[in-house]
Amino acid sequence: MEKKNIDWSSLGFSYVQTDMRYVSNYKNGAWDDGCLTDQASVTMSECACVLQYAQTCFEGMKAYTTQDGHIVCFRPDLNAQRMADSCRRLKMPVFPEDRFVKAVVETVRANAAWVPPYGSGASLYLRPFMFGSDAIIGVKPATEFQFRVFATPVGPYFKGGIKPLKLRICDYDRAAPRGTGHVKAGLNYAMSLYAIVDAHEQGYDENVYLDSGSRTFIEETGGANIVFIKGNTLVTPKSDTILPSITRRSLVQVAKDYLGMEVEEREVALSEIGDFTECGLCGTAAVISPVGTIVDHGKEIHYAGFGPTIQKLYDTLTGIQMGRIPAPEGWIEVIE
Ligand code: PLP
Ligand code: COI
């Protein structure tokens, strides 16, 4: 199969329309058989529940070309589980988890020419998502839904590639106690748009959100979880209002089982972040992006950027994803 003629290494994180996407519709209490389509646009009622009341959730995952030339996907079963959790919280019908994985695999296969080659630094980003599609005007859930998966080739998430990031402690909140911070609801991102535009205007790459209950603990950023390093220990915030990042859960296992590190998943106070030597953002899009500085209202805290431990975590995780390092059982779904 001939690859698309793209300068893979200059890709950023923006949408490129690819050939095929997967679509399935839910009506009268059941999902249809689903199929691949070349139709990239969606037509629906002006009163669709997603347009009026933001009834939508999504996932983010990547397909890679490995060193030995296979196309693989990283832990898609966990994305399927998390999307099921998001659907339950948002009163949407779960798209069965086995069908979710099959839909992702079909979408990748149908767009194999768009999977960046090994060593290019790029990957094929997959965006499974679901929305309430029928007309709803009183506040209640939709009764008809659409599940889709599209694919788009991407490079690094942060502008300027992999350079140490400058973050700020954000004065806006991302998620309320007992709210929806722990699921991947579109509404969580809508309400972060004001804060991210403001952060960029002030010269920051991202916002670090605090817990909105007490505003004393570190939560996560708008699009990634956070890890800190002190000595041989990885410390990462534990909270009911952050997204359970698959990358972070994988890094915890990598740190323990591959690198012999100690791991602390616990509340991390804003007042202690100066005690750490390294810091990184982790997520599907972010991979592990090294943090250089966190600014807390004029007070600057500096980290080693690509320090030795963040570098080791990055090399091991990406080595597993690209097939250079043996993966734990079940982490790699071989597509072709
Ligand atoms: N936190 C937020 C708010 C995110 O949007 C993401 C991206 O998916 C993550 C964390 C990282 O999660 P994952 O590693 O599963 O991609
Ligand atoms: C991802 O990492 O897949 C996300 O969904 C984060 C988003 C900010 C792009």
Q: How far apart are CA 308 and CA 297, in angstroms?
A: 28
DSSP SS3 for 208: strand
CB-based contact 59:22 (threshold 8 Å):
no
Q: Which atom of ligand 1 is nearest to the CA of 174?
A: 3
CB-based contact 269:248 (threshold 8 Å):
no
Residue 331 confidence (pLDDT): 98
- Residue 98 CA, ligand 2 centroid: distance in Å: 22
Q: Which atom of ligand 2 is nearest to the CA of 189?
A: 8
Strand duo 287-296 + 165-169: pairing:
parallel
* Cβ(284) – ligand 1 distance below 6 Å: yes
* Cβ(220) – ligand 1 distance below 6 Å: yes
Q: Is the pLDDT of residue 262 over 80?
A: yes
Average pLDDT over residues 234-242: 98
* Cβ(223) – ligand 1 distance below 6 Å: yes
Catalytic residues: 184
Q: How far apart are CA 52 and CA 73, in angstroms?
A: 34
By most ligand atoms within 8 Å of CB, the mutation choice from 125, 251, 284, 287 for ligand 2 is 284
For every residue of 296-327, DSSP letters joined together read ETTEEEE--SS-HHHHHHHHHHHHHHTTSSPP
Q: Is the pLDDT of residue 234 over 90?
A: yes
Which bin fits 119, alpha (ψ -120 to 50), beta or left (φ > 0)?
left
Residue 161 confidence (pLDDT): 67
By most ligand atoms within 8 Å of CB, the mutation choice from 85, 182, 206, 284 for ligand 1 is 284
- CB crowding 30-49: b at 16 or more within 10 Å, else e: ebeebebeeeeeeebeeebb
Structure confidence at residue 298 as a pLDDT band (50, 70, 90) = very high
pTM: 0.98
Nearest ligand by distance to the CA of 224: 1
The candidate with the shortest Cα–Cα distance to 49, out of 147, 148, 137, is 137
CB-based contact 95:223 (threshold 8 Å):
no
What are the residues facing 73 on neighbouring strands? Answer: 63, 333
* Cβ(56) – ligand 1 distance below 6 Å: no
CB-based contact 82:246 (threshold 8 Å):
yes
Percent pLDDT > 90 in the chain is: 98
Q: Is the pLDDT of residue 103 over 80?
A: yes
Residue 1 confidence (pLDDT): 80
- Indicate which residue's Cα is closest to atom 3 of ligand 2: 60
By most ligand atoms within 8 Å of CB, the mutation choice from 123, 209, 247 for ligand 1 is 247
* Cβ(120) – ligand 1 distance below 6 Å: no
Residue 163 confidence (pLDDT): 84
Q: Across the chain, what does the average pLDDT equal?
A: 97
Nearest ligand by distance to the CA of 184: 1
30-38 contacts, C-beta under 8 A, 24 or more apart: 31/93, 31/95, 31/96, 31/99, 31/147, 34/99, 34/103, 34/147, 36/106, 36/107, 36/110
Pocket of ligand 2 (CB under 6 A): 60, 223, 283-285
Of 1 and 224, which is predicted with more confidence?
224
Kindly report, residue by residue over 143-185, the tens digit of the pLDDT.
999 999 999 999 999 977 668 999 999 999 999 999 999 999 9
